[in-house]
Structure 1
Amino acid sequence: MAKIRLLIIDDSALIRKMLTEIFNISDDIEVVGTAADPIIARDKIKKLKPDVLTLDIEMPRMDGLTFLRNLMRLRPLPVVMVSTLTEKGAAVTLEALELGAIDFVAKPKMDVSNTLNEYAEDIIAKVKVAAKAHVRGLPFKPKPKPVFKVSEASEKHTADVILSAVTARKHFKTTDMIIALGASTGGTEAIKTVVRNLPNTTPAIVISQHLPAAFSASFASHVNHVSAMKCCIAQNYQQILPGNIYIAPGDMHLIVIRDGARYICQLNDGPPVNRHKPAVDVMFRSVAQNVGSNAIGIMLTGMGADGAKGMKEMKDAGAINIIQDEASSVVWGMPGEAFKLGGVDYVVSLDDVAAKILTQVK
């Protein structure tokens, strides 16, 4: 099997060197070249014909967004952004995802070398997924197995560390419906596609999207801008109301609890589940336990299996579940795993998710 041909584009010689060393660990990736700016990168793309690019945002001669915009218009390629964990970096990275970047990896400002090496498994996995991802009509293929062994703590943490499993099917016929939505890779754009087609009379939506904490405010703002519903970052013990969207903060699990006939957001600072915080499995389990058959579960594009077990628990509790189909997903990991577990009622294209939701609203 041919190696993934990778071109690294970053104005920092240190970052180029470290990324090269990280990717050289993988038997499946070959760094065919590096470039200090997009002008050099443009020539190397023509000469080296890479399969995937990693792309910095702030570079000399041409910024990363301008380069990405031109690339996606003239020669679409899978791109993984390398971004700073700041609010400014978050806003620009989300714009890059709008332009067609597959995913991003954080580039913290302090202790860059050590941090990037700690993230080696994540970076390699994202490049592998990008190589197989759906980019402007390219066919999606399943994610390869990760190169590195997952740490013991990450491997063992399931939703059980936050909430015990559902023990009985629950029906709550006297309260409003809730829509619970989970997503990961490709999810920021997929979520906007769904919510822009929902009226402000739609039942409340709770969302767990895998994002760093610094990205939460920018993402909520983007969603609020395109939706007739009101969108906010979920606050601890905030009442959940129809016509509103509540997004889990990037460093907390979002749990739905009940107070009589009311639904309430509860934030939990427990350990990562399925290596994620927020974890979709945690949110889905809480919805299964406390909303039952009054819930609609939605799983959009995403890498891995987070949320698959929780979606099955929601179905067992009487919820109606909808997943995005493989053809329209950037990565059919999370939706595909939910399908395999038998937790799905409907499989629809991204453009049809909103309409399917509205047909299920009671």
Structure 2
Amino acid sequence: MADVRVLIADDSILFSRFMKSVVDAAEGFTVCACSANVYEARDEIEKLKPDMLILDIEMPKMNGIAFLRQLIPQYTVPVIVCSSRKDLVMQSMQAGAADFLPKPDEGGYEEFRTALVKSLNAAKKITRIKCGCKFYAVRKSASADDTAAAHEQRRIIAIGGSAGSTEALPDILQCFDKNTPPVGVVLHMPEGYTSLYAKRMNAKFPELEIVEATQGLYLKNGMVVIAQGDKHMRLFKDSKGYFVTCEEGPKVSGHCPSVDVFFESAAFCAEKDAIGVILTGMGKDGARGLSQMHHAGAYTIGQSEKSSAVYGMPKAAFELGAVDKQLDLERIGYHIREYLSRGGK
């Protein structure tokens, strides 16, 4: 059975991290995202469709109780309210909370850990939630449908590049459509630019869903997810399909985000079902990761020297023996499409 996916909404980064560690350690539960305010939580709910929430009360822009009153009638899932405002227990429960846990005082963290795990297990058994004077049925997890979709969604395409790659990527994307397997992209761009780039590409290719990566985002056919400019993106897979994580960290192979980090995660979780593509760029980031994909059974492609703005990364990968096929840029997208149409042969 798939894990219960939990969204945490709390403006305290440190306490969110603590709660995440508790939830992730609890059997049958995993945190899909953390939000600092209810507007971020709303956006994450729309994208990730979590099964449960842990909600603070005192947050900027809108307090948790007001949000809860709006949420339950529209998106009915168990919500555990966790707040230092013990005087708001009754208001929280009347607004639709499944439980109320006071935030721990100094020295009370182990007791809180036990209470939270107990509350999580109780909340997942709830079938109805009372909000105000009305009862609402808890939405069913689409785990069976998601598992079937994950089985169908076997393939994944991983692309990495640096100098010249923002101009190169559209040449590949123009060959893709809504039926193309999910595409993960790591390009060496600074913080802030990746969001703008994703929006520009999404407007240019309306048949695709092109987005900047977010923590816990599940991928689907026709989706292209672009790594954030200051966080490493990694690929994982569970019973619901492929999803990505976005985490800060030291530079790897000289970069954050690093192509090596992403390719290595794709090698581990997708193995022979992955297609790896290394594009124009300076240095050798991605070469080691593509080599791991190659050894895991993935099909790997490198951009040719004559079509590269900078023949650094593709060259390093080619010299490692990590490239199955070296192609001019204008052929890569068509070749992937042909490769997939032949069933990966």
In structure 2, distance between residues paired with 1:223 and 1:268: 23
1:283 counterpart letter in structure 2:
F
Q: Answer 1 or 2: higher relative contact order, Cα 8 Å, separation at least 6.
A: 1
Cα deviation per residue 1:49-76 (whole Å; 9 max; x = unaligned)? xxxxxxxxxxxxxxxxxxxxxxxxxxxx
- 1:360 matches 2:336: no
Cα deviation per residue 1:221-251 (whole Å; 9 max; x = unaligned)? 1221222311000110010111100000000
Q: Does the 8 Å contact 1:257/1:264 carry over to 2?
A: yes
The unaligned stretches of length 5 or more in structure 1 are 1-171
Residue 265 of structure 1 aligns to a residue in which SS?
A: strand
1:245 counterpart letter in structure 2:
V
2:163 counterpart letter in structure 1:
T
2:316 match: 337
2:261 match: 282
Question: Of residues 292, 302, 313 in structure 1, which corresponds to 2:292?
Answer: 313
Q: Does the 8 Å contact 1:175/1:261 carry over to 2?
A: no
In structure 1, distance between residues paired with 2:339 and 2:256: 29
In structure 2, distance between residues paired with 1:261 and 1:175: 10
- 1:176 matches 2:154: yes
Q: Does the 8 Å contact 2:153/2:181 carry over to 1?
A: no
Residue 175 of structure 2 aligns to a residue in which SS?
A: coil
- 1:257 matches 2:236: yes
- 1:190 matches 2:175: no
Cα deviation per residue 1:289-311 (whole Å; 9 max; x = unaligned)? 00110000011100000000000
Residue 190 of structure 1 aligns to a residue in which SS?
A: helix
The unaligned stretches of length 5 or more in structure 2 are 1-149
In structure 2, distance between residues paired with 1:224 and 1:261: 25
Q: Tell me by how many angstroms 1:197 deviates.
A: 2.1
1:1-362 mapped onto 2 (5 Å cutoff): 175-227=153-205, 228-361=207-340, 362=343
Cα deviation per residue 1:66-92 (whole Å; 9 max; x = unaligned)? xxxxxxxxxxxxxxxxxxxxxxxxxxx
1:331 counterpart letter in structure 2:
V
Residue 207 of structure 1 aligns to a residue in which SS?
A: strand
Residue 228 of structure 2 aligns to a residue in which SS?
A: coil
Cα deviation per residue 1:161-207 (whole Å; 9 max; x = unaligned)? xxxxxxxxxxx987520000001000001001110221221110000
- Count of aligned positions: 191
Cα deviation per residue 1:15-40 (whole Å; 9 max; x = unaligned)? xxxxxxxxxxxxxxxxxxxxxxxxxx
Q: Tell me by how many angstroms 1:282 deviates.
A: 0.1
Cα deviation per residue 1:308-361 (whole Å; 9 max; x = unaligned)? 000000010010001110001000100010000001111111100101111222
Cα deviation per residue 1:79-125 (whole Å; 9 max; x = unaligned)? xxxxxxxxxxxxxxxxxxxxxxxxxxxxxxxxxxxxxxxxxxxxxxx
Residue 194 of structure 1 aligns to a residue in which SS?
A: helix
1:345 counterpart letter in structure 2:
D
Residue 192 of structure 2 aligns to a residue in which SS?
A: helix
Instruction: After the TM superposition, list the runs of 4 or more consecutive aligned residues in structure 1 that deviate by more than 4 angstroms.
Output: 172-175
In structure 1, distance between residues paired with 2:270 and 2:220: 14
Residue 213 of structure 1 aligns to a residue in which SS?
A: coil
In structure 2, distance between residues paired with 1:319 and 1:261: 21
In structure 1, distance between residues paired with 2:165 and 2:153: 29
In structure 1, distance between residues paired with 2:173 and 2:318: 23
In structure 2, distance between residues paired with 1:343 and 1:174: 27
Q: Does the 8 Å contact 2:153/2:220 carry over to 1?
A: no
Q: Does the 8 Å contact 1:174/1:261 carry over to 2?
A: no
Call closer, same or farther: CA 1:295–1:173 in 2, change over 3 Å: farther
2:157 counterpart letter in structure 1:
I
Residue 291 of structure 1 aligns to a residue in which SS?
A: helix
Residue 326 of structure 1 aligns to a residue in which SS?
A: coil
